[in-house]
Structure 1
Amino acid sequence: MSRILVLYYSSYGHTGKLAEAIAEGARDAGADVSIKRVPETAPDEVVKTAGFRHDESHELAEVGELADYDAILVGSPTRYGRMASQMAAFWDQTGGLWQKGALIGKVGAAFTSTASQHGGQETTLFSIITNLLHQGMTIVGLDYGFDGQLDLSAVHGNSPYGASTIAGGDGSRQPSDKDLAGAVYLGKKVANTAAKLTG
């Protein structure tokens, strides 16, 4: 059984909901899944003023434990077209893992949330994927086997580079059924890939 970590940062819960859907897909594929979040690095005053809401049911991740997993799916909201500083700060601490090659050959994937349809989803996914590639991980995307990729009947997230959702400028839009279905698909694909590589 593959061990999978769904690692995320979420200010208002949107990325966290994708994390839950990804975990569902990975569990459906038979994986042992943990969902963890990275620590908040914004000053308390900013967190309070902006109204950040963290899911305390998901424990905080520690850098050293990344090597314990067969696959890691990394999720972060977009900040100016790249991953949030909270997630970047976490990965900036992985130099020791990189030096040991501790993540080489493990499976990696990305997911994100943006305020608008063209708010930088794909560049944010690439900013995550870049870190995973430097660690020597094998990247899994959200392929066109997920038929929701080509649906034009409604605004939705997701791209070949990873799962995503659109939160709206005020954060009022929640992940749609199609967004969540893409996340479930990605979680299942990562779990199946990890099982093949570690089996």
Structure 2
Amino acid sequence: MNLSRPLLLASNSPRRKELLTGLGLTFEVKIKEVHEDFPAELKREQVAEFLASHKADQYLEDLEDQILLTADTIVCLGDQVLNKPADYEQAYDMLRSLSGTHHEVITGVCILTRESKTVFHDTTKVYFKELSHQEIDYYITNYKPYDKAGAYGIQEWIGKIGIERIEGSYFNVVGLPVQKLYHQLTELGLLKID
């Protein structure tokens, strides 16, 4: 597979790096500190897309003949957006609220070049079993999920023992809807299979 120009990934997420590598893409990581605030009136899908687009905008001035990829994953329980927990108590409360019910994981993605900006999202429904106090405590204590929206990583222990089923893309929950990304890059003429 060949990209028409160099790819920049504006994310330090090891999971996103792994997923892009798994697609057979080479890329360089470029990081800027970006505030993740969003207007309160935005609906859930709009929040994920807004954040991905907002991140991309911070790189526009520096962008040369490259493809910039940004993404933002949010966890939604009803209309409530669960961000990254600040401490043990927040992580515990989030996992307790996700226990025994379903929620949605929405990843917004932005593909930015000098000529165009494409923003899209993918949504996956995730069903958790009823989690015990011991399971939640064990996970937070051992995995410290403070860098993860909703206080969990599907690929970690809690996902293996707690998630009963999902509807939609597994990779979207990990942090990047690779099937949709592949489709968009192809549609935009930025990616070709030789």
TM-score by length of 1: 0.39
Higher Cα radius of gyration: 2
TM-score by length of 2: 0.40
Structure with the higher strand share, 1 or 2? 2
